[in-house]
Each structure stands twice: as structure tokens, then as C-alpha cells.
Amino acid sequence: MIPLEVLQNLAEKTPSKIILMIIDGLGGMPNPETGLTELETANLPNLDAMAGRSIAGLSDPVGPGISPGSGAGHLALFGYDPIKYDIGRGALSAFGLDFHLEANDLAVRANFATIDDNGIVTDRRAGRIPTEYNRELAELLRQIKIPGVEVFVVTESGHRLLLVFRSDNLSDELTSTDPLIVNQPIREAEPVVPAAAHAAEVINAFSGEARRVLSGKHPANGILMRGFAKRPNIPSFQTLYKLTPAAVAAYPMYRGVARLIGMEALPTGNSIAAEFQVVADNFERFDFFFVHVKYGDTAGEDGDFSRKVRVLEEVDENMPTLLNLKPDVFVVTGDHSTPAVLKNHSWHPVPFMLQSPLCIPDKLPSFDERAVRGGSLFRFPAKEGMSLMLGYAQKLGRFGA
Amino acid sequence: MIPLEVLQNLAEKTPSKIILMIIDGLGGMPNPETGLTELETANLPNLDAMAGRSIAGLSDPVGPGISPGSGAGHLALFGYDPIKYDIGRGALSAFGLDFHLEANDLAVRANFATIDDNGIVTDRRAGRIPTEYNRELAELLRQIKIPGVEVFVVTESGHRLLLVFRSDNLSDELTSTDPLIVNQPIREAEPVVPAAAHAAEVINAFSGEARRVLSGKHPANGILMRGFAKRPNIPSFQTLYKLTPAAVAAYPMYRGVARLIGMEALPTGNSIAAEFQVVADNFERFDFFFVHVKYGDTAGEDGDFSRKVRVLEEVDENMPTLLNLKPDVFVVTGDHSTPAVLKNHSWHPVPFMLQSPLCIPDKLPSFDERAVRGGSLFRFPAKEGMSLMLGYAQKLGRFGA
């Protein structure tokens, strides 16, 4: 991978335009009945024709054999080493809830839980209380006062909460209060480094106060805290690549990740057609568009092979909206694979194609896991995709004399 | 390569089973008479059919153009960067002789040599004395007493010896006493770092005493020492990958390398059939099997093309024993290439195939150097193979949130 400082030195502001379409969970596996993957099954005339004009290959989001979370898969495609920029759960929860983290915030993923009189955790999910009850109990938690600290309590869903502690000097290098298994006592947060001592005091004070205000609210009579995270410190697209980037994503978490790296998250409807139209409507204002299609991943996680096929076909039907914009570089790929047969994110490498008037087309017959094996990008780390896009968009100066 | 700490965090204990078969010196080169490599010449119905069900590629054990020793080639396939974990020759000799090194041992590869009255080395191999004579002379060396140091003298073969010095404070950062070319004086070992001063004194004392006890034993009237090495400090398979690994290897050196990383070396006969049966007999007890087939390398080093072909065919004939176990992941590869036409280890990349019910098969027609070029693993560092195996065996949790 080219170091980011080198790319930064080479990057030039130019009028050329890049579209990066990330179909969440794009890669699949063969349906045991047909031997064909979701991409191989779907009728994709536009994507297949684009493969004929593109260079293509298989990308590893994090590394061979590694199943990535969505945050890691996206950061890699944006050019950031996902192992170096490993975003904590608390921060991802904040993105997912559209909560804007400030630099001195400490974000925490919390659960309502059931704790007995001896402090033993008997149910880590408080019987999976309904979201409405979570909202009621969150009101009680908002009454807790920690001197010198502003606390935000945000209901996620079911038993899950986001907590944000805003104050100077709150390190995220703490151990969880969540024992992670039942029939163990709720833990005290402990500082992993001396500088986290203050944060540990704040967390333990809140944990104790939460048990007080929730006493009598069995089964949700306590909270467990983990995934402590500060806002990740990542150089922006503007700084690194001299881009003016926009994100078109219906799901909050992806808008959050996009904003983290300096993208403007454009308002959009939920449908694929609506998202693509937002790109068209704003095409003059930006030079980089991240377009996120969530539904491939959700269909894959539900194990619904046919629905994933239909999502891909819906993307294909709407491709003309984007193709007609004639971007200088147009990439279609995924942040990871989510094969319907596995019902989960997987480690399989992800199909990737890049169309540009300046590429030497691989002339592949179709866009799918097996066809792209014949492409000239072979197999590569996803984090190298960004310098490819910038190069084909002629946004990088010459390296070396 | 995924850092080992990251793999360690992701690794989970699961019931799935992995077989890694390493055919020593697997890769070959075309026979000038036929234009076909050993793998292309051999009749391999089982391996070829397995290629049809697998993903495949070419792996570089250490790096492009680098001919690896067997230790380095194996460590890479076990997931260790062979450049970081460079095992010294002395330690490899100890493994090869089934000598169990302790943490404070200093292992040394030594040669009997001919040294004239002026201390000039006239034959670095003492006229290649027979092993029996080596054993006699070793008895003389065992009479040498170095205060505070226990010395082990182990005959290897011909003029070669293993010496092990057991004492506190023996660094391996020393220069050789072996001038490496003839007609040069035998050298004093010199410390490369100040902490090695004591070790240098011990080695030089032993070198002087050896000349005394061997005087009159021309041509073996002295010893040369090099390859100073401590026992390598490598995290185990249990610690890193949460595996319960077994090694099935007839040759001591490979059992030694395997034990070094925490594998249980199972007793086995010498034949391929016997080795494979040991895997079958112990299949329930372990979740990772390293199976080592030595004879490909020895045939290659002897320049015996036909014998190497026959070894491959013998492996193929016995494949059903392993295939019938239905391991979740089954890899067939080599630790390096040993083309019979070169009579030596070489730098050529090594065929690698991975069979798993969770792979999208590359449907290759055969398993050989040229066919695997069409595989979806393309060309990759051997050290990435371990995360691939763990991934396809579903032994790695999700990376990142």
C-alpha cells in the first residue's frame, strides 16, 4: 500500500469525477441447488456490460480469511488501513444513531441488564426489553449527575443504549463493566493506562448511580458498559486526496463513517432509485461520490438468496442513472461478502470493477465472483483501491523525478 | 500480512478440523526432454480432482526469488514471518537431532576440520571423515571441561557435529570461528554485542581445548564453529490460534520445528501410507494436522526426476485416507520448490490448493505449477496461508465493528 503521506503529496485538485458504489455484503457463495452465486444468478445486463468495459479483480477488505465489520470494510475502500484505523464499537454506535461525537467525547456501548442483590449479572440483555421501555428507563438515567461531565443517553433499540460522556481527559483505555458471561459479578471499569484513571472513576460512578436509579426496575435494574471509544482521528478526504466528497447513504452508520472522513452526507430517500437520483442531482457540486446500497447485506444476513438477487437486479435496473453521468472513474464493489448461505459477513474476497475511459478493458463477460478472477486487478487489498481510483481519474501527479 | 496479535484476538476454539499437507520440495521445473514438470508428469487423479473442488494459487515461501531453507518454508506456512522468525542453524541442527533445547542453551553447528601447525585451515570438512570416526572423536570432545558450562556433543553425520553449551548468560551474537574459506587462519569468536563477551570466552576456550584433545588426529585435528543460536522464541499455535495441533512427520527436524510451536509430534512410520493412517487414527483428538512428506525434496535434491514423480504418485494413491476424513479445510502445498533439474531448493513459487465446503471452487483441471495460475489465490506470500485456513475453517471472529 502506498503510504497516505505519499498519496497526499501526489494528489491534485482536478475537475474529474469519481463514483464509488459500495453494495454492502456484495460477495456471495454458490446456492447449493444451482451451484451459482447471487451475482451469477441475477440478471444484470448493465453491470455485465460495464464489466466488459472495466478492469476487475477480487479485493480482500482486511486480509485473507478475515471477515470484516462494515466500518472496517468501508474504511479500507476509502484508502485507510483498517487495522491501523480500527474504530471502536462505541464510536460506531454513535455514527449509527447520527450522534455527532466531539473530540473529547467518550462513547460507550451499553446494555440494560438484570443484576441480583449480590451484584451478579443474571441476564446481560435484561430479558430483551422492548425499545419503548428502554426509552422510559433512559429518562431515569438522564437524571444522573456526574460533576464536570455532560452525559448523553441515547436509546438504540431493545436493550441497547449509547452513552456519551463529554469532559476533558476521558481516555478510552478502560476495561468493560460487562463480565461478558452471566453468573459473574458486574465489574468495575479499570484503567489500562494511568491516564485513564479519571475515565474509570466517571464510568464507575455512572454504573453505581445507574443501579440506584434503576433499582426496582427489574429485569432492567442495571447497565453494562463496553466498547469505550473516542472519536477516531482520521485524516480527511480533503486533506489527503484534495477531494470534495459526498456520501449518499440511507443508513445512519454509513453517513456517520462518511462524515468522519470529511464527506458531506447528502439527504436521500431509502430506495436505490432515490439514492442514485441524489448523485445525479448533485453531480456538479462534488468530485467524489460514495454511494451506499445497504440491502444486499441485509438480505444476505437474513439468508434470503432470492432477495439478495433481486437487490442486485434493482441496482442493475437503476445503473443508467449513474452511467449517464459519465463519471471519469466508476467503481462497483462491496465492503465485504455476505453470502446468503452463511447468513453472515464472510472472509471471501469481493468482486471489484473500475470503469474509466483510461483503462485497458479486461473484456470480462460478466460481473461476478468467478468472472472477475480473469481480471487484470487479480487479487488485491481493498485499501489499495483508492490510489487506483485517483490514478485513473488523473488526480495524482508523477512520483519521483 | 495480518499481524499475529490481530489473528490472536480473532481466533476462536471451534470443532472444525484442518489438514495441512506439506510435500517437501513440491514445486518443480520442466524436464528438458518433455517440457513437463514433475507434477505435470505424474498421474495424480485424486489431487487433480481435488483441484477441481479447491481454490488455488502460487505461494512465495519467503519472497520472490528467494530459495528458502526447510525451516523458513515451514514457519511461513504456519503463519510466522520467516524473516522475523529466522531460526539459526544451530537450533535447526538440534531439531534435526531431536535434541531438546532449553531456554539458556547455546546451540552451535560445528565441523571437524584440518588445521596446520600455523593455525591455518587447510580442509574445512576434515576430508569428509566417516560418521563412525566422528563418533569416536566426539568422545574425546566430551572430555573437555569448561567451568560452569555443561557441554553436549552430538554427532550429526560425516564431519558435522552439534554442540550445545548450557549455562546462564550465553548470547548467540558471536562471530564464527570458521573462516568459511580454506587457507585462512581459524578465527576467535568475537562478541557482536557486549553481552556476548562471556559466550565468546566459552566458545574460544572450547575451540582451543578441541585442538588440544584432537592433536594427532589429522585430518580431523580441530573443529570450526558457526550458526550460533538460542532456542527461538515463537508464540505457540495454542496461544495464537487456539488450536490443538498435531504433527505427523517421519523426519526429526520437522517434528522439532512442530514441537517448537506447540504441536504434539505423533509417532509414525516412515511411509506415506503410515503417516496418513496416523492422521486417521488420531483425527478426533486434534483440530489441526500438519502432515509432512519428506521424499519429494530428497528425490529433487538427488536430481531424480522419475523418483520425485513416483513420490507424488504415492501421495496421490494414499489421498483417500485423508479425503475420507472430510476435514473442513484441506490444504496441499510445499515448503519450497526442489526441481530435480536443479538438484537443490529453489526460489520458484509453490503450488497451493485449499479445499473447503465454503470455498467457491476454481474448477481447475489439475494440480500443478501451470494449472494453479488460473486459481483465485493468484500469487501470495505463504505466511498468509494460515489466516486463509483459519478463515475457511470458520475459526476467526469478525474484525472490527
Residue-wise pLDDT for B213-254, tens only, equals: 999 999 999 999 999 999 888 999 999 999 999 999 998 889
Residue range B149-170: average pLDDT? 94
Residue of A nearest to B57 (CA): A379
Residue range A193-208: average pLDDT? 96
Statement: residue A387 has pLDDT above 80: yes
Distance, CA of A353 to CA of A49 (rounded, Å): 11
Contacts of A87 in chain B (CB under 8 A): 400-401
Statement: residue A147 has pLDDT above 90: yes
Closest chain B C-alpha to A74 CA, distance in angstroms: 11
pLDDT of residue B279: 98
A-interface mutation test, from B360, B363, B364, B376, most A Cβ less than 10 A away? B360
Region of residue A378 (left: phi > 0; alpha: psi -120 to 50; beta: else): left
Q: Do B362 and A369 touch (CB under 8 A)?
A: no
Contacts of B362 in chain A (CB under 8 A): 373
Q: Do A58 and B388 touch (CB under 8 A)?
A: no
Residue range B33-38: average pLDDT? 98
Share of chain B above pLDDT 70, in %: 100
Closest chain B C-alpha to A383 CA, distance in angstroms: 13
pLDDT of residue B167: 95
Contacts of B388 in chain A (CB under 8 A): 64-65
Distance, CA of B180 to CA of B225 (rounded, Å): 10
Contacts of A83 in chain B (CB under 8 A): 2-3, 6, 399
pLDDT of residue B79: 97
* Least-confidence region, from A254-263, A268-277, A386-395, B376-385: A254-263
Distance, CA of B140 to CA of A210 (rounded, Å): 78
Distance, CA of B383 to CA of A347 (rounded, Å): 17
Q: How many residue pairs from chains A and B have C-beta atoms closer than 8 A?
A: 82
Distance, CA of B317 to CA of B273 (rounded, Å): 9
Mean pLDDT (chain B, rounded): 95
pLDDT tens per residue across span A71-112: 999 999 999 999 999 888 888 889 888 898 999 999 999 999
Q: Do B3 and A379 touch (CB under 8 A)?
A: no
Residue of B nearest to A374 (CA): B374
pLDDT of residue A230: 92
Interface of A with B (CB under 8 A): 29-30, 37, 58, 62-69, 71-72, 82-83, 86-89, 92, 227, 342, 345-349, 369-370, 373, 378-379
Contacts of A76 in chain B (CB under 8 A): none
The set of cell numbers assigned to A299 is: 438480505
The set of cell numbers assigned to B387 is: 489466516
pLDDT tens per residue across span B336-372: 999 999 999 999 999 999 999 999 999 999 999 999 9
Domain boundary assignment for chain B: 4-85+234-392, 92-229
Closest chain A C-alpha to B396 CA, distance in angstroms: 7
The set of cell numbers assigned to B352 is: 497451493
Statement: residue B387 has pLDDT above 80: yes
Residue of A nearest to B396 (CA): A66
Handedness of CA B70, B71, B72, B77 (dihedral sign): positive
B-interface mutation test, from A373, A377, A383, most B Cβ less than 10 A away? A373
Q: Do B398 and A87 touch (CB under 8 A)?
A: no
Q: Do B396 and A68 touch (CB under 8 A)?
A: no
pLDDT of residue B130: 94
ipTM of the complex: 0.88
Distance, CA of B92 to CA of B71 (rounded, Å): 7
B-interface mutation test, from A34, A36, A67, A297, most B Cβ less than 10 A away? A67
Closest chain A C-alpha to B386 CA, distance in angstroms: 8
pLDDT of residue A146: 95
Closest chain A C-alpha to B282 CA, distance in angstroms: 26
Q: What is the CATH number of domain B4-85+234-392?
A: 3.40.720.10
Query: Model pTM greater than 0.95?
Result: no
Contacts of A72 in chain B (CB under 8 A): 399-401
Grid cell 437486479 in the structure block, residue: A313
Categorize the per-residue pLDDT at A125 as very low, low, confident or very high, splitting at 50, 70 and 90.
Answer: very high
Statement: residue A188 has pLDDT above 80: yes
Using alpha carbons, select from B370, B321, B252 the residue that is nearest to residue B19: B321
Mean pLDDT (chain A, rounded): 95
Residue range A193-198: average pLDDT? 95
Compare B70 and A300 and report the one with higher pLDDT. A300
As to burial, measured by CB atoms within 10 angstroms (0-12 exposed, 13-18 middle, 19+ buried), residue B204 is middle
Closest chain A C-alpha to B235 CA, distance in angstroms: 20
Q: Do B398 and A345 touch (CB under 8 A)?
A: yes
Categorize the per-residue pLDDT at B17 as very low, low, confident or very high, splitting at 50, 70 and 90.
Answer: very high
Categorize the per-residue pLDDT at A267 as very low, low, confident or very high, splitting at 50, 70 and 90.
Answer: very high
Identify residue B383 by its one-letter amino acid code. Answer: K
Distance, CA of B345 to CA of B28 (rounded, Å): 10
Q: Which helix (H) or strand (E) holds A227?
A: strand A222-230
pLDDT tens per residue across span A20-75: 999 999 999 999 999 999 999 999 999 999 999 999 999 999 999 999 998 999 99
Statement: residue A153 has pLDDT above 90: yes
Residues 6+ apart with CB under 8 A from A222: A112, A113, A114, A115, A121, A186, A207, A210, A211, A214
Q: Do B388 and A64 touch (CB under 8 A)?
A: yes
Q: Do B392 and A68 touch (CB under 8 A)?
A: no
Q: Do B2 and A62 touch (CB under 8 A)?
A: yes
Burial B140-160 (b: 16+ CB within 10 A, else e): ebeebeeeebebbbbbbebbb
Q: Do B6 and A349 touch (CB under 8 A)?
A: no
Contact B99, B161 (CB under 8 A): no
pLDDT of residue B35: 98
Q: What is the CATH number of domain A16-84+235-392?
A: 3.40.720.10
pLDDT of residue B401: 67
Residue of A nearest to B377 (CA): A379
Contacts of B392 in chain A (CB under 8 A): 65, 347
Distance, CA of B308 to CA of B338 (rounded, Å): 10
* Least-confidence region, from A148-152, A327-331, B1-5, B331-335: B1-5
Grid cell 479483480 in the structure block, residue: A57
pLDDT of residue A88: 84
pLDDT tens per residue across span A269-327: 999 999 999 999 999 999 999 999 999 999 999 999 999 999 999 999 999 999 999 99
pLDDT of residue A180: 83
pLDDT tens per residue across span A4-23: 999 999 999 999 999 999 99
